[in-house]
Amino acid sequence: MKLSINGNTVEVPDNIRTVSELLQHFKLEQKVAVVERNREILEKKDHPTTEVRDGDVFEIVHFVGGG
Amino acid sequence: MNDRYSRQELFAPIGKEGQRRLGERHVLIIGAGALGTGNAEILVRAGVGKVTIVDRDYVDWSNLQRQQLYTEEDAIQRMPKAAVAAERLKKINSSIEIEAKIMDVTPVEIESLTEGIDLMIDASDNFDIRMIMNDISQKKQIPWIYGAVLGSYGISYAIIPGKTPCLSCLLETIPIGGATCDTVGVIAPAVQMVVTLQTAEALKWLTGNEEAMSGRLTSFDLWKNEYASIRVDKLKKEDCPSCGVRAQYPFLSASNLSRTAVLCGRDTVQIRPPKPQSLDLDALGESLSSLGLKVERNPYLLAFQPDHRRLVAFRDGRVLVHGTKDTAEARSLYHRYFG
């Protein structure tokens, strides 16, 4: 399916069903990430239950520490 | 009176009034690495009344690719970053006050460092210090601007007590391990982009243009050509231990104070003395020389190399043990030479 992520159109496997699985796909599951789906910000506890659908628009910001 | 600030005053949202306000503000920059030198240069040129820059480290060759205030000579001399940065900044703008602090920042130091501060800039490289900044920000109602960079990726967010969520609200848990240590390198344009995001928000706050602030958690990846920006107001938590209704500022409690710290991605352990002290570097140098050790000195620190390790002692009693991540080994070397 096609998603818009951080302004770019991205093709991801159809077996990705939840936001948690999407974060795993991008290897972000170990990091602290803030996710917005279709302009709606998600609580971290909702990542495992929020569905990902074709055409969804995501903004994903993950935290890093360097300076 | 010269026209040093004329172009900034011509910029309508700042104007002469904004410039005057800027000249009355005191900014604390924590860290004098890549983000610290970038932020400091912009704010000093802009005419912030007083800038205090704090750092615990000295200049190394690996810094020169992106830490814009330092030269080869500073790396050769192993000059403390805060001292060199302040010296350069004074040459850039002699009409404002610039203060250097060569020290580690713990819950103890942060209390006095934030006296009279209007804004803190995060230019640190770890979440231990950021959580301390976050708590003191809430306790004393001082805004701070988080910034971090890794590889070609960067992130920034301005935290205003009483208005925005704090860093604890956003993180919920502290990121640990690989996500924070700069083992994957970093490119200078990513640093500069974070500096840009931080200083733009800083200028808005300091010139009385709060309504222009972005209010967004912003990230980018210059290599993947991505940009993300999220309004995070809804993540503010009533029960947050740092900014909630019953805030306890957990990271300001002295029980979190550790005497040893492994420096991020540096193969280095820092050991702090049991209580604040002033180390007599001349006497130490003489006694180490009498043991047959080759001692290198500058006015701020002393370096020597026992057992294929390099030890660097600062005047405030801190010692960096290079070449190991093993805190037990580092402590044992420390006790051998510093008692």
pLDDT digits (tens, 9 = 90+) for B92-132: 999 999 999 999 999 999 999 999 999 999 999 888 899 99
CA B326, distance to chain mean position in Å, is: 24
Pick from A5, A60, A65: which is nearest to B175 by CB? A65
Query: Per the CB < 8 Å rule, is B228 touching A64?
Result: no
Residue B172 contacts A where some CB pair is shorter than 8 Å:
yes
Q: What is the SS3 assignment for B241-302?
A: CCCCCCCCCHHHCHHHCCCEEEECCCCEEEECCCCCCCCCHHHHHHHHHHCCCCCEECCCEE
Which three-class secondary structure state does DSSP give residue B88? Answer: helix
Residue B179 pLDDT > 50: no
In a domain, A67, yes or no: no
CA distance linking residue B157 with residue B232, whole number of Å: 10
pLDDT value of position A46: 94
Q: Return the residue matching tokens 């170990």.
A: A30
**Does the pLDDT at position B203 exceed 60?**
yes
Residue A30: which domain range?
2-62
Q: Per residue in A12-38, pLDDT tens? A: 999 999 999 999 999 998 889 999 999
Give the one of A7, A60, A67 whose C-beta lies nearest to B149's C-beta: A67
The C-alpha atoms of residue B230 and residue B217 are separated, in whole angstroms, by: 5
Looking at chain B, which residues constitute the CATH 3.40.50.720 domain(s)?
6-255
Q: According to the model, what pLDDT value does residue B256 have? A: 58
- B220 min Cα distance to partner chain A (Å): 8
Q: Which of B166, B169, B181, B243 is catalytic?
A: B181
| Domain spanning B6-255, CATH architecture | 3-Layer(aba) Sandwich (3.40)
Q: Is the pLDDT of residue B177 over 60?
A: no
Q: What is the pLDDT of residue B266?
A: 77
The segment(s) of chain B belonging to CATH 3.30.310.10 are: 258-338
Render pLDDT for B150-175 as a digit per residue (tens, 0 to 9). 999 999 999 999 999 999 999 987 66
Would you call A29 an interface residue with chain B, using a CB distance cutoff of 8 Å? no
| Predicted pLDDT of residue B126 | 87
Closest CB to A8: pick one of B34, B226, B264.
B226
Q: Is the ipTM of this complex over 0.90?
A: yes
Strand B26-30 vs strand B50-55: parallel, antiparallel, or unpaired?
Answer: parallel
Asked about B243 being catalytic, the answer comes back as no
**What residues of chain B, 12 to 41, have a C-beta less than 8 Å from chain A?**
31, 33-36
Structural domain tally of chain A? 1
Looking at domain B258-338, its CATH class is alpha beta
What distance in Å separates the CA atoms of residue A16 and residue A19, rounded to the nearest whole number? 8
Where residue B338 falls among pLDDT bands split at 50, 70, 90? confident
Tell me the mean pLDDT in the region A44-59.
Answer: 96
Q: Which two tokens stand for residue B271?
A: 């050991």
Q: Is residue A7 part of a domain?
A: yes
Say if A62 is an interface residue toward chain B (CB within 8 Å). yes
CATH number of the CATH domain containing A55: 3.10.20.30
Q: Percent of chain B scored above 70 by pLDDT?
A: 95
Q: Is residue A38 part of a domain?
A: yes
Distance from C-alpha of B13 to C-alpha of B152, rounded to nearest angstrom = 31
Q: Residue ranges of the alpha helices (H) in chain B?
A: 6-10, 15-22, 34-46, 72-77, 81-92, 107-113, 127-140, 167-171, 188-206, 281-290, 327-338
Helix (H) or strand (E) holding A25: helix A19-25
Query: What pLDDT is recorded for position B273?
Result: 85
